[in-house]
Structure 1
Amino acid sequence: MSKIILTCAVTGSIHTPSMSPYLPFRAEDIADQAVAAAKAGAAILHLHARDPETGHPSARAAHYMAFLPEIARRSDAIINLTTGGSAVMSLDERLEGPLAAEPEMCSLNMGTMNFALYPMTARITDWCFEWERPFLEGSDDLVFKNTPRDIEAVLRRMGEERGARFEFECYDTGHLTMLRHFMDRGLVRAPVFLQFVFSVLGGMEALPENLTHMKRLADRYFGEDYLFSVLAAGRHQMPMAAMAAGMGGHVRVGLEDSLMIARGQLARSNAEQVAKVRGIVEALGREVASPAEARAMLGLKGADHVRF
């Protein structure tokens, strides 16, 4: 099997500060945790921004630039910026930071979907900030909008115009057919990097048969012109990562996807999760890819072509 690419999703836009004291939202904490995750073995750092005063999800260029140069100075990891931002943002709002930074990689959700977070409110009794509870409770009437027009705009603005490659986030089988559609139109070139996403309420359940089905469909649609990675939210994070590694895939962990390191135990850092999954995949005989090796595998433009 090829070397395995470990991605770490450092903070995201789903979990809120009241859920864990270890979730980074200040610029210096995002930078420190990202660098530590890279040192633990993450070749790719998947990054969101936060308002440093409240922890609210943000895509403002100023919030990104408060930590991106520091991460780049202290690490050679691949910087992968979300174009999803948060489901409550418009497309232009979501792209403000990525357009300014021109990173090597961006994530791209391959469809519009329900993105339900409201069950999380039952686990919290003390709230750090006033925005958190309404933000979560309101997701029972929330649609993450990413239409074909939106997807094309991201592919052109971040890909064609700024040279970014993509982590194509696929929450369901139809997202693979949408990606094939854009490949047929010439807006996506091989190799594609698929991220199969499980356990988001509105997407696929974290079942082994769902992973094997997604892999079969990817083989059909993309032949040998793709790499796949797996992320599973919450308690399914490590079991699904192990399965993906055994199938020859790549894996993503991080506090965006799960706040835990074991049942009933909060992870104290992103690096702790990276170290744990590294131990799992190495025990399966996989060798972890360096950032340079991951760049070659994914055909990236290189860190000297970004704007931070």
Structure 2
Amino acid sequence: MLAAVACTACSASEPERAAEPTRPTADTEIANSVPSPIRDRGTLNVATDPNYPPMEFLDAAGDLTGAEIELVNAAADVMDLRSDYSIEAFSAVPSAVRTGQFDVGAASLTIRPDRALRNNAVVFAESGSQLIKSSDAQSPDPSSLCGLEVGALEGTFQIEQLLREANECRQQQLPQLKVVPFADLESATVSLSSGELGLLLTESIVSGDLLTDFPDLLTSVGSVRKTLPVAWLTAPDARKLTRTIKRALQRLIDSGYYQSVMQEYGITASSISRAEIIWAEDRQKSPNQRKGSG
């Protein structure tokens, strides 16, 4: 059963901002390019998984908010639509969009070049992998994790990355790398800050939020590993909608509103300067949507 979440601006949960660019309003030319069935109903139906702060999460009042949510809402405004959210498990978002249950998937979905892409993707940010440790723990050599215990979220590319490195440790007959999976970011953070976990490998687009929230408890280790696109997904046959969303996103970038949202949530390092589309048919391998990068 899907849990519907109505969220047009989520303004009740937004932190205060200093002087900032005005949120763009409807652009007639862009709005007219929205496919008729969507334009006629007046809503953009979006699937999300609100368990990935600062991108999408539920605040203390239970309202849906986050950087990605604000950007989707603003893009919908430009298209003269109201965004209407439904909560889906992360792994179900791509297929739910692909089969037409939703217009858009917005769940911090990273696009990997080594995997086939079965949805169209509108790139709105980029992200890499970042190691985090508790502040009182010894800093390891980030180039070799053999002999260490490292956590990551289940279903992310970070888990795959760690498992590959653990296998390399075994092949080289080095001390074992112990990989610890976590169901959610909150439990991983608690384990890390309490000292139960040595290291956490997470997406750089969320690591800044963790370090800001727990400045006395957590510290980054090394630099961000290679960055990959983070995108909104559409169905492979929804080419007109995909182009329209790209134009709406570019309108946010050109107006300065995009940058203000990225700055508000402390993720300016993940910003892009130009919206981009990656078409589904450009990839020919296996399914590709995973949270995380590497």
- For the pair shown, which has the larger CA radius of gyration, 1 or 2? 2
- Higher percent of residues as strand: 2
Q: Which has the higher contact order (CA 8 A, sep 6+)?
A: 2
Q: TM-score, normalised by structure 1?
A: 0.27
Task: Give the TM-score, by structure 2 length.
Answer: 0.28
- The structure with more helix, counted as a fraction of residues: 1
